[in-house]
Amino acid sequence: MAALPFSDRLLFSPPKTLSLPPRELHTRTSLHFSLSRSSPQSRYTCPCSAGTLDPDPASEESNLSSSSITSSSGGGKDGNRRRAVRIAWEKLVRWSRSWRSRNKSVVLEKTRKVVVLGGGSFGTAMAAHVASKKSEMEVSMLLRDDHVCQSINETHINSKYFAGHKLPENIVATTCAKDALAGADFCFHAVPVQFSSSFLEGISQYVDPKLPFISLSKGLELNTLRMMSQVIPKALGNPRQPFVVLSGPSFAVELMNKLPTAMVVASKDKKLASAIQQLLASPHLRISTSSDVKGVEIAGALKNVLAIAAGIVEGMNLGNNCMAALVAQGCSEIRWLATKMGAKATTLAGLSGSGDIMLTCFVNLSRNRTVGLRLGAGEKLEDILSSMSQVAEGVSTAGAVIALAQKYHVKMPVLTAVARIIDNELTPKKAVLELMSLPQVEEV
């Protein structure tokens, strides 16, 4: 089984002090002495190689003490600096190995079946990722398109998305909700937000009340202003349906290509969040946990609207200064609304906030940025949307965001301008002029 990444919280917290046998203490003392007295050519031997897995914080701090760094003969300040950096890194790696050895997951071992609702690019990428972790596990994809189902089952290729990627053979596709959901341990929801309620209502009779739902969808329901943590239980008729949201800076194609990616799972149930973390974590996918469901969801929804604004700036060739100013202002607006709604500011500075905003606003793979870019270049929204094979959630989310801003009495000039442009009530050029003419105020 793949080694599990440790959480960000643990990464910057010292490990628990463990009692060490006399031999280990002797090794530490000798190691410290050798670092303090030896020549610059002396090599530092990681205690892991001698069987030591969990370093004692006190001993390790002594390794980094000024006496062990500054009193060595030869090498000068640069040699001392290099030695300090090497010790700090090896300490981190050694502790990481110890943490993984003591936190082996049984979740993957016990999981027999996972279902993915939706066969878009991200649903397909997530299905492939989960399936690749355990060949004995069945990963069932519930789709609407018979041709795509046939392609996946016969050739192990999603002919509509990722035609050049072979899917794991333990992925099966079906259009039958009953078959897909039968016996599932976890359910990944990858249906676009605006279609989620009707879709879930249609399959609710086959959903186990205790089946955990992991939402991959980012956005707000336009008519109700609900987030997915509200949409899913409501549509299934079960307010206690276990729920987790998975978010963060992640393009489907890079996940499919096993490029290094980091995401966050958020749930009010910490044990469930930890279970999903263990299910998904791999050498190329790092998963952090959070209890701030609202913060993760709001950030994931609002960043799509901001990405449209960033695309408009790019399409109008307004320059890098304008881009930086606009995205910074948009980040502030997201923070103002999210914290007013009860989200934590720290969440907005993390993977699901700043991380996802940077990816979506600055990279051309973003569908929402692409919509904005084409709007800024003068194309009509109807023509843009009709030419796209996938949904750009920011288009429908923009109106919902402004409704929330009015509800919570938050001024959001950039995101409001996007909503007006989408409604064809304001041109991109006029919007920029109006935004630049706003009163000069103190930054908050």
CB atoms within 10 A of CB 202: 11
The whole-angstrom separation of Cα 154 and Cα 242 is 34
Task: Identify whether the C-beta of residue 343 lies closer than 8 Å to the C-beta of residue 294.
Answer: yes
Active-site entry in 303, 340, 344, 407 = 303
Catalytic, 160? Answer no
Catalytic residue numbers read: 303
